[in-house]
Each structure stands twice: as structure tokens, then as C-alpha cells.
Chains A and B, each alone.
Chain A
Amino acid sequence: MPLALSDKFGRVLPFSPHSGCYSTARLERRDLFAPRCASLFLRHWSFAIASIDTASMPLDDSCAYAGELRLNKALNLLAQAGWVAPLGLEPGSDAWLQSVIDGLCDVSSRDALTGLANRRQFEGAIAREVDRVARNGEPALLLVADIDHFKRVNDTWGHAAGDEVIKSVAACLQDCVRPMDLVARIGGEEFAIILPNCPPTFGQAVSERIRQKVAARPVAIVGGQQLAVTVSIGGAFAPQWVRSSPAFWCERADQQLYRAKAEGRNRTCLDMPPLTVVSAEEKGMLFSGFGQFDPISDSGADHSVPKTSE
């Protein structure tokens, strides 16, 4: 059973290049990357829906049966996630199958509690960002935010309250950033934000704004209580023009997060690249005793060669 998972842009996500499916279907690799490749696939196999982790699935020759099972499984999964097929699509049609695939992609990349990107999507996004920064040198900022004293919330008010806090912080983070930025929940009470094209001069302002917004928004929990919530934020810029690794970038941001925690929480710490600014003091010193240079005194006069200039 050849498997393919295509997202709504027609990009094929995980697939098994060793399955021989391309030749059987008279498709070539490049067809997989063509627009509407998913429907091409679907025309050749009735059921080409993969489960989310395609790569690990055994390939099976009795395709129809296995495929049908998988489709049912996929629909169950989507139903659990609250997915509803778009109206007006005939079940089993190409468009319907595509919407199922889109739904699966969506479910597999989102965090169930907050609706943010999950760790899987974050890892893909940060790897792409590292490549992008290495290629075009645009500065990018990675922030990691951790809810302060989260364990205390859970212990005092219960896990339902903890979930409310996480959802509220998630919504707040998402509100603070540009559409192009990716906010992900990467751990229990830990979030990451990738800000592409964010110059170092603005890094502090952005992260401070996020921290303050969270601090200014108390969380309502059951029983009418309002909980004050704060986050500690650590951040690091991707080294421009250099191919770094996602792991190294995350580690640098994490170190700053530890620093923010150690320095008392509810604060932001950034690993700043060197900034060059010429201060007024420097300019002042540059021209102290400036009278001695007279650029125009000899203007127009033919200069005689200084005989003893060292």
C-alpha cells in the first residue's frame, strides 16, 4: 500500500520513496510535488490516506482493505479532534479526501489543549528557519517562555486551573506576535516563539512586550478566582550567514531562560549579538581638540610635498 500525505498546498509530506509506488502508478517523483498531486494519487489508489506517522507503517499489498481501515482510523481521529468535513463535499470524492488529508495534517501539527503549533511542527519550523537564516542572512529570534511557579498553580488550584492558565498564556502569546511568527507549545508549561526577520535592535522590545502582556492578563479559573500569571523568557538570535543547528539555537535560548529564572523570574534575558552604536560621548571625544584639523585652509592651493613626513 503506497502511502502519501499531502497538505492543502499540494505538498506531499512523509512518503516512502522505497515503496516503488511511483512506477506502479506511472507517477514520478516530480509529480508528487506538482499541484494537486494528492488527487493524482487518489485517482490511482482508492485509499491513499496514511496515518499520521506514515514512515513507520508497514507497506501492505492488500491495499484496499488496509487502506479502508486506515481511512476509518483517520476519520475517528479527526472526529475526536472535533473535525467536521466541509459541507457540500461528497464523501469519497477527491475533494473530500483532500479535506480529510488537510484535517489530518492540521491535527498532527497542533497542540490539543492550546491549538498552538505542537512540538512536531516547531521542530520542522525551526529547522527551516535555520536554513533560511544561513541562506539569506536575515536575523531571526527564538524565544522560549516558561510559566513561573506553574507547579504551585497545579498543586494549589488543581490541574483544571493549570490547563486554564496554559490556555490563557498561549492565547496571550499568540496575540503578541506577527502572523508570520510561530508560537508553539513545546512542553508542559513551556512555549517557544520563532520570529523570522527580527533585527537584534528590536529583540528586547518584543520579548518585553510579550512578558508584560502576560503579566497584565490575570487568568479566571473556576470559582471566580483570578490568578496572576507571569512568564520568564529567554531568547537567542540565529547567527546570521552561518548554518547553525536547531539544537544549538534552542540551547542558547534555554540558557537565557535559566538566567531569567535565576534572576528572579518574570523577566526576559536575551543572548544579544554584538551591537555597534557610536555614542555621543564617543563623538565628543573624537572631536576634542578638533581645531587642529583644518580641512579647508589650503583648499585650492597647490600643495608642496612635505619633505620630512616620516
Chain B
Amino acid sequence: MMASMTAPETSTPATTVRLARTVAITSGKGGVGKTFFSANLAAALARQGLKVLVLDADLGLANLDVVLNLYPKITLHDVFTGKAQLEEAILPAPGGFSVLLAGSGLVEYSRLTPEIRDQLVTIFEAVKPRFDVILIDTGAGISDVVLYAVSMAHEVIVVATPEPTSMTDAYATIKVLSTQQSRENLHLVVNQVGRAGDGRSICNQLQQVVERFVQGPNGVAPKLSYLGDIPLDTSVREAVQKRQLVLELHPGCAASQGVVQVATRLLARS
């Protein structure tokens, strides 16, 4: 077991073994605002004084850079292929956190090869001691790459929207993570909620079906911990169009407050 004791920053490296809290963000369905949520959650956590890294694990079709309006010269692909050092690929993002961006359009990342697996682990282990929180923004679906990226994290946030397809995919994701990764606790965030309270109802609904049909390896249904919802908000659309964080563009809007509340609850449930 790796010791994860908290030590003051001034202590010698030999005694400072402090590893980041690692949280994977996944959804099953694409287009539910996963990447947008990851970026804004990172900003909300950074505002609390935490050193946050977002790892874009959507290796083949990454768009964290698009959301953040970044034009990276160096991506994870360059680190994987040995063209750049890891340090060069860790970039500062607006919002006060760091990002490790992936490339886009690389078919070779659509399958999990041993090389990708080894590279991801090496990189992940290297950044763990350097941050307080690492968010892993995964791709859509439940492919090998996504499941592997999720498996690296201690905690998982499942993002769903009230749309039936999204709920179904979130449910399937929860089921897979429970049976294949023995996850007993999963965080849930409901995005694009039209009516206050719907997020909580969706969580309850999912929990009911999970309890009836999902048995992890230990025979226990996973517990969904509800982190909150992010209301449907025109500010979000505006921020997306302007490629800015909604937390920066409209800090007081409903969506921003939703994100901040999710961050607060996440930190309260360590």
C-alpha cells in the first residue's frame, strides 16, 4: 500500500508522499457536456486553492483544448511517441488549473493497446504526486480505452442528462463499472436539468434500478452519491460558443453555481 500521508510542503521529498485525489469523469453517452463539466469543475476546485490537473483521456477525439480555447503545440501523443517530455505537455489553462491534452483524429487510440496502457499508467503515476486533484476526462462510450482510463482513478463521476438515452447509457456505465471494476460508490452529476429537483429524481430513479438489477462481485449494488445538478442555462451556450469557462464568463449564473456546489460536495465527500 502506498502511504498517502499529508505533509507540509516544506518537508523533504523523501517524506512527502502525497498523492492526488483522482476522479474519472465519464457518461456513456457523448454530448452530455462531460468535457465542459470537467473544465468548469477543475476551475471551481482550483478556486478552493487546490492544484488541479485535467487529463484528457479521450485520446482519439479529444476536445478539451477546444473547450478551453487552447492551441497546444504539444499533446499527450507527443509524449507517447517520445517527441516531447511530460513536463512540456502539462499546460496552464484559464481557470487556474493545468491540463494534459490529447490529440484529435488519431485512429490508433481507438483501441487499447499495451503501449497506450503502459504510457497512460506511467504518465499518471508521474503526475499523481504533483497535484491535489486529477480529473480524468474520458471519451464517450464504454470502450476498452474509456474503461481503462476510468480504472486508473479512485473515484468516478458519472454525468447524465435527463434525456432517456443519456440515462440509459449512464445506467449501463454504472452497471459495467460495478461488475467489472467492483465500484461500490459512484458519484452522479445531472447536467442540463430543466427543472429544479429533476436531478435528484433521476438519481433516485437510477438508484432504484441499480439496486434491483446490479450486483457487484460482492453481491452489493453500487451506491450512487448525488453531487448535484447543473441547470439548463443560456450562459452555458454562450460560454461554449465563446470557448470560455462559464465560471469565468458568468460566475453568478445558475450553471456556474451548480458547478461550484458539485465541487463543494465532492470535496466534502472524500
Q: Which residues of A contact B (CB under 8 A)?
A: 135-137, 241, 274, 276, 278-279, 281-283, 285-287, 289-290, 292-306, 309-310
Contact = CB atoms under 8 A, between A and B. Distances in A.
B254 A305 contact: yes
A295 B209 contact: no
A100 B146 CA distance: 51
Given A299-B232, A303-B231, A276 B254 contact: no
Interface centre among B114, B232, B234, B261 (most CB of A within 10 A): B232
B168 A278 contact: yes
Contact of B194 (A281, A295, A305): A295
A298 B232 contact: yes
Given A135-B114, A278-B168, 11 more contacts: A276-B176, A285-B208, A285-B209, A286-B167, A290-B164, A294-B194, A297-B195, A298-B195, A298-B232, A303-B232, A306-B196
Nearest to B179: A274
A310 B112 CA distance: 41
Interface of B: 112-114, 117, 144, 161-164, 167-168, 171-172, 175-176, 179-180, 192-198, 200-202, 205-206, 208-209, 212-213, 217, 228-229, 231-235, 253-255, 257, 261
Contacts of B175: 276, 278
A136 B201 contact: no
A285 B206 contact: no
A293 B202 contact: yes
Nearest to A297: B194
A283 B198 CA distance: 18
Contact of B257 (A290, A294, A297, A305): A305
The main secondary structure of chain B at its interface with chain A is helix
Contacts of A306: 196-197, 231, 254
Given A276-B176, A283-B168, A298-B195, A309 B228 contact: yes
Contact of A295 (B163, B172, B200, B235): B163
Contacts of B234: 300-302
B168 A286 contact: yes
Contacts of B180: 274, 276
A294 B196 contact: no
Given A276-B172, A282-B171, A304-B254, A295 B162 contact: yes
Contacts of A276: 172, 175-176, 179-180
Given A276-B172, A285-B209, A296 B201 contact: no
Contacts of B255: 303
B236 to A, nearest CB: 9
A136 B114 contact: yes
A278 B167 CA distance: 12
B161 A286 contact: no
Nearest to B236: A303
Nearest to B234: A302
Which 8 pairs across A and B sit closest by C-beta, in order of nearness?
A306-B196, A303-B231, A303-B254, A295-B162, A298-B194, A293-B162, A274-B179, A276-B176
A289 B204 CA distance: 12
B144 A303 contact: no
A283 B205 CA distance: 11
Nearest to A289: B205
Contacts of B200: 310
Contacts of A301: 232, 234
Contacts of B261: 309
A295 B213 CA distance: 26
Given A274-B179, A299-B232, A294 B114 contact: no
Contacts of B206: 286
Contacts of A305: 231, 254, 257
Contacts of B113: 136
Contact of A137 (B144, B198, B212, B235): B144
26 contacts: A136-B113, A136-B114, A241-B117, A274-B217, A276-B175, A278-B175, A281-B213, A282-B171, A282-B213, A285-B208, A285-B213, A286-B171, A286-B206, A292-B198, A292-B201, A293-B194, A294-B198, A295-B232, A296-B194, A298-B195, A299-B232, A301-B234, A302-B235, A303-B255, A309-B197, A309-B261
A293 B198 contact: yes
A294 B254 contact: no
A295 B201 CA distance: 13
Contacts of B257: 305
Given A286-B167, A303-B254, A306-B231, A294 B162 contact: yes
Contacts of B197: 306, 309
Nearest to A304: B254
A283 B165 CA distance: 10
A11 to B, nearest CB: 22
